[in-house]
Amino acid sequence: MAIKQQPKPPRSRVIGNILLLVSGLFLLVNLFLPGLFGSRPPQVPYSLFIHQVQEGEVSRVYVAQDQIRYQLKPQAEQPEQVLSTTPIFDLELPKLLESQGVEFAAAPPPRNSWFTSLLGWVIPPLIFVGVWQFFLNRGSGGGQGVLSIGKSKAKVYVEGESEKVTFADVAGVDEAKTELVEIVDFLKNPKRFTQIGARIPRGVLLVGPPGTGKTLLAKAVAGEAGVPFFSISGSEFVELFVGVGSSRVRDLFEQAKKQAPCIVFIDELDAIGKSRASNGFYGGNDEREQTLNQLLTEMDGFGGGDQTVIVLAATNRPETLDPALLRPGRFDRQVLVDRPDLSGRTEILDIHAKGVKLGPDVDLKAIATRTPGFAGADLANLVNEAALLAARNGREQVAQEDFAEAIERIVAGLEKKSRVLNEKEKKIVAYHEVGHALVGALMPGSNRVEKISIIPRGMAALGYTLQLPTEDRFLLSETELRGQIATMLGGRSAEEIIFNSITTGASNDLQRATDLAERMVTTYGMSKVLGPLAYQQSQQPMFLGNEAPNPRRLVSPQTAEAIDQEVKGIVEQAHQQALDILNHNRELLETIASKLLETEVIEGETLHTLLKQVQPAGEQLASV
Ligand code: ADP
Ligand code: MG
Ligand code: ZN
């Protein structure tokens, strides 16, 4: 269904704006009416009101649905005072009032009711008109009227702006930078390349997980080259009216060609560039398809002569893109923007720490070591969190401990002091966490246990064991993965041993353990029975640390059963391993748990000395 917009003369827009203004005014007046006409008495807490009634200080009470107004008995020098409070549902109130001999009644209906009800009739249509007008204005890119509804909303950043971004602002993505330096050359000096007959690439696709600096890099390219930068986000194309997306693309490129050499940056390309085949089941999405086709046409249509327009695009889901986009002559260059490694993280922290005052004890390298898997955006956020914490703690400079606390916040969530556990629960949580820590201390592949705490934090954790890595890992062996699963099951195993029963607290551990075991079997080919086959459809790109489970490939029922059995086998074996270790170290488990119950948190040296005493359960290790 196509909705055509009738072109409107500009006068109707003026009228629309006036209507908008008027309706806004009416709304304001209505909101403040009670304040203007019926001057609101001071508001007090309900508890104070009850107290005053009990003390016999109240003479008269009007009870309305959402407000109680009452009058105090005249005091020595004070005149009669009128107060109000917000009622709570209290069936005892009439009895109490009666017993105190207070005069009470339901409140009289509000005055000026004809006026209010008139407003009730007038305002909704006005608001409707206002909202409509607002959307029309928005759709038209502002200022050009309804006629230009299809005009591009691209933001243009031109050279020389105060917040110019350069490559110096981006770190940890050296390979990507190297490739983009070349693009900057093309933009600065296209002749040098075209003279020889080389064709300048048209499209460069930045691919990488969210927050790794793709948008930032695109801006940096423009900043370095000193050319105009048109930026638009793919999700903005997906709009209400059919046909708007494609005309917007046409318009965007028209503007860009006038300003060549320049950069057109399409953020979140996957929003328009989704493979046309992939949504066949749902009958496709006409609008997106048209937009995509227009984009393809435009990319084929320019590039000749002096028009150096380079299209940069960013996506974190390259596998969903339509193959037509990736053909030579379109986005034929792909630049991987991956999560930074250790030195990259240090550099990124350096960049963002420039803006905050650092104390002398801050060691950015140490912070980088403890944050593998963090993308640039996470690190920027980390620095800011640390600065906020320092300010909250009344410090002048950010200290290392602020960073430590900020990491913990980001990894485990906010502390929830308000969630109070009863003694029994606390005890269970303590043993559970110590169970994780003890198994984790022995297992290969487990990160160093830094802290155990039974102070609730984050979404679900009642207590937590904070394990932070000491180095970046890119490959994990089968033994290490099994070790991780055993560590995840350590909590539940401790509950079983000590309390001989199981609580609901371990469900998240079990979920993660099962997921990991399934990945061992179906993705990493670590099962002897099933062999080195991939049983999962790898739709997700294999970014480091991407843990989302994939759907299984279509397999025969027998294979599915075998997979299930292998997964179960791995988890059960790890469970047994955890039980063995904890049984073997039962005394230590008791000691640390009771200490944890006293102090609520054990960390640092104290924890390391305690955990050094863990003994491997002899026979078990040999059999794994
Ligand atoms: P993406 O587009 O890849 O999702 P952004 O470019 O929007 O990520 O990054 C968001 C913010 O995170 C940036 O504005 C910057 O402050 C910070 N950031 C991300 N990556 C880096 C990096 N490699 N170097 C420095 N800062 C970064
Ligand atoms: Mg982005
Ligand atoms: Zn747990």
Place of tokens 């105060």: 162
Same domain, 585 and 495: yes
Same domain, 378 and 437: no
Centroid of ligand 1 to alpha carbon of 299 (angstroms): 27
Eight-state DSSP code of residue 267: E
Same domain, 167 and 125: no
The CATH number linked to 376 is 1.10.8.60
Same domain, 10 and 87: no
Question: Quick one: average pLDDT of 415-431?
Answer: 80
Higher pLDDT, 323 or 138: 323
Same domain, 494 and 510: yes
For residue 271, give the ligand nearest its CA: 2
Centroid of ligand 3 to alpha carbon of 441 (angstroms): 15
Burial of residue 498 (CB within 10 Å: 0-12, 13-18, 19+) is buried
Same domain, 275 and 137: no
> Does a structural domain hold residue 438?
yes
| Element of type H or E holding 232 | strand 229-233
Q: What is the pLDDT of residues 305-355, one digit of tens each?
A: 557 788 899 988 887 888 888 887 788 888 989 888 889 999 999 999 998
Question: Which atom number of ligand 1 is nearest to the Cα of residue 340?
Answer: 23
Domain termination residue (choose one: 288, 312, 336): 336
> Does a structural domain hold residue 541?
yes
pLDDT band of residue 107 (cuts 50, 70, 90) is: low
> Does a structural domain hold residue 41?
no
Same domain, 511 and 566: yes
Please count the other Cβ atoms lying within 10 Å of the Cβ belonging to residue 543.
Answer: 18
For residue 211, give the ligand nearest its CA: 1
Same domain, 330 and 346: no
The reply to whether 254 belongs to the active site is no
Q: What is the extent of the structural domain holding 11?
A: 2-35+114-148
The CATH number linked to 170 is 3.40.50.300
Domain termination residue (choose one: 272, 302, 336): 336
The Cα–Cα gap between 307 and 304 comes to 6
Q: What percent of the chain has pLDDT over 90?
A: 24
The CATH number linked to 79 is 3.30.720.210
Same domain, 390 and 527: no
Q: What is the pLDDT of residues 466-511, one digit of tens each?
A: 887 777 777 888 999 999 999 999 999 999 999 988 888 788 889 9
Same domain, 532 and 589: yes
> Does a structural domain hold residue 608?
yes
For ion ligand 2, residues whose CB falls within 5 Å: 215
Q: Which long-range contacts (CB under 8 A, 24 or more apart) does 156-162 make?
A: 156/228, 156/229, 156/230, 156/231, 156/255, 157/219, 157/222, 157/228, 157/229, 157/231, 158/228, 158/229, 159/222, 159/223, 159/226, 159/227, 159/228, 160/226
| Type of residue numbered 258 | K
Centroid of ligand 1 to alpha carbon of 35 (angstroms): 48
Q: What percent of the chain has pLDDT over 70?
A: 77
**Which residues lie with the beta carbon below 6 Å from any ligand 1 atom?**
170-173, 210-216, 314, 348, 351, 376-377, 380
Same domain, 545 and 593: yes
The Cα–Cα gap between 444 and 457 comes to 27
Same domain, 309 and 373: no
> Does a structural domain hold residue 418?
no
The Cα–Cα gap between 431 and 434 comes to 5
Domain termination residue (choose one: 304, 336, 368): 336
The structural domain count of the chain equals 5
